[in-house]
Amino acid sequence: MDKKQGRLRRARQTRLKIRELRVNRLTVFRSNTHIYANITDAAGERVLVSASTQEPEMRTQLAGKGGNQGAATAVGKRLAEKALKAGIDSVAFDRAGYRYHGRVKALAEAAREAGLKF
């Protein structure tokens, strides 16, 4: 089993539990150079709100440095602002098998501070 398969195996149980709860889900994906966050509806069929370091506004703000904790914090704040504007105030956090550490933790804490409830 390689790293990706192990991560997806760890994520599977969390996703099943969130689907059972029938709440909106905040999913995180991180690569070496960028971080992405989406909020999907309770059925998991469509993306309601998204934010990433690849958005033009974020790229100018971060000056090309999308793979650090500062970038993750900015993405978390932006996602929370967009979610609150769309009428979403509470979500279930799906860390996609990643450890709650570093960039994933920074994104989650920034989203909480900006008003999103997990």
CATH code of the domain in which 11 resides: 3.30.420.100
- In a domain, residue 8? The reply is yes
Would residue 109 count as lying in a domain? yes
Are 55 and 87 spatial neighbours (Cβ–Cβ below 8 Å)?
no
Tokens of 30: 């991180």
For residue 69, is it within any domain? yes
**What number is the average pLDDT over the span 30-53?**
94
Q: Is the pLDDT of residue 64 over 80?
A: no
What is the spatial distance between Cα 40 and Cα 26, in angstroms, rounded to a whole number? Answer: 7
- Domain with 10 in it: 3-113
Q: What is the mean pLDDT of residues 11-21?
A: 92
Give a yes or no: residue 94 inside a domain.
Answer: yes
The predicted pLDDT at position 101 comes to: 95
Structural domain contains residue 118 = no
Q: Would the pTM of this model clear 0.85, i.e. be above it?
A: yes
Instruction: Give the tokens for residue 103.
Output: 């960039």
The answer on pLDDT for 81 being more than 90 is yes
Q: What is the SS3 assignment for 4?
A: helix
What is the count of structural domains for the chain? 1
How confident is the model at residue 44, as a pLDDT? 82
